[in-house]
Structure 1
C-alpha cells in the first residue's frame, strides 16, 4: 500500500481578543480535496509559541468555558517572567503547555472521524498577534 503526504497552510485572522476558532470546516474541505475516500491521519499544527489546537464542543458555551478556565489557570497579570507585549503576555507563551499546538485525527473513507459534538479549534489568547497560520497535513 502506498502512502501519500499532502499539506497546506491556512492563513487565519483571530482578531484582537482571545478566541476559540472552529477550523472543522477548513479540515473537512482540505480532506475533500486530498483524501478522496482513503483512510489516514490528519495532523493540525499551529507554528506559533502562543497558540494551541483543541478538539472540543463549540456553540454550547464550551469554547467560552475553555477561555474562562485558561484565564483562571493563566491570569493576564505581572507574575510572568516573559514580559514583552501586552500586560500578562507571558501566559500566552505557557498556553501551548496546556493546549498543545497540534492534534492528530483519524480519517476514515476520506472523512474526519470526529465524535458527534467534537470540533477542531484554534485556541488563541494572544491579543498581540491577530494573524495566524495553521498547517493541515494528510497522511494516507
Structure 2
C-alpha cells in the first residue's frame, strides 16, 4: 500500500453499558507509525449502524453529559419502530444521525492538530453489541 494512504483497524470492547471511549491515544500511536512527520488527514470511521465518532472534551464530565443528552434526545423506551434487541434499541439506530460514524481530522507534522481539550471518541449506546471496530486511515 502507498505511503500516501495507510489504514489500521482497532478492536474496541465497549462492554454491556453505554460508553464514550477516548481513542486519542490510539490515533496518536497510529500516526507515529503511519504519518512519518508528514501533514495530511486522519479519517476515523466506525462501520456499525449504532455508534458514532465525536470530538469532545473528556474527563471533566463532558462525556457523561453527552450520554445524558443522548438519553434526553433519544430515550430508551418503546417509541421506536426499530424493535429488535433490548428495550429501546431503536434509539441506537438513530444515534449516527446525531453523532456521525466518522470524523476527518487535520494532521500537522505527523501529529493530530486538536484543540487543547479535544479528544477523539467512540460513542456507543448499544448495550447489545460489546465489540466494535474502528478504522483509522491516514492520507497525505
Normalized against structure 2, the TM-score is what?
0.98
The runs of at least 4 consecutive aligned structure 1 residues that moved more than 2 Å come to none
Any residues of structure 2 matched to 1:55-66 within 5 Å, and which?
A: 55-66=55-66
Which secondary structure does the structure 1 equivalent of 2:85 belong to?
coil
Which secondary structure does the structure 2 equivalent of 1:78 belong to?
coil
Aligned pair 1:30/2:26, yes or no? Answer: no
Which secondary structure does the structure 1 equivalent of 2:72 belong to?
helix
What are structure 1's unaligned runs of at least 5 residues?
none
Q: CA RMSD in A?
A: 1.0
Q: 2-side partners of 1:113 and 1:36: how far apart?
A: 15
Q: 2-side partners of 1:15 and 1:84: how far apart?
A: 19
The aligned counterpart of 2:71 is 71
Deviations 1:3-46 (A, max 9, x none): 70000100010010000000000000000001011000000000
What are structure 2's unaligned runs of at least 5 residues?
none
How many positions carry a matched residue from both structures? Answer: 139
Which secondary structure does the structure 2 equivalent of 1:26 belong to?
helix
